[in-house]
Amino acid sequence: MSATQALLDSIAYIAWHGQVLRAGEPGRAVVTQPDRADFKNYVGTVHAGAIFTLAETAAGLAADSIAAPMGGFILLGAAEQRYTRRAEGALTAEARVDAATDHAALAADFAASGRGALTVAATVRDSSGESVFNGTFHYAMRKRTR
CA dist 46 and 122 (Å) reads: 17
CA dist 99 and 40 (Å) reads: 34
pTM higher than the cut 0.85? yes
Q: What are the 10-residue block averages of pLDDT along the chain, 146 residues in total?
A: 87 92 94 96 96 98 96 97 97 96 94 96 97 98 90
pLDDT of residue 145: 85
Give the three-state DSSP class for 69: helix
**For the chain, what are the domain ranges?**
3-143
In the CATH hierarchy, which fold is given to the domain comprising 3-143? Answer: Thiol Ester Dehydrase; Chain A (3.10.129)
Region of 15 on the Ramachandran plot (φ > 0 left; ψ -120 to 50 alpha; else beta): alpha
CA dist 106 and 141 (Å) reads: 10
| Amino acid identity for residue 122 in this structure | A
pLDDT of residue 146: 77
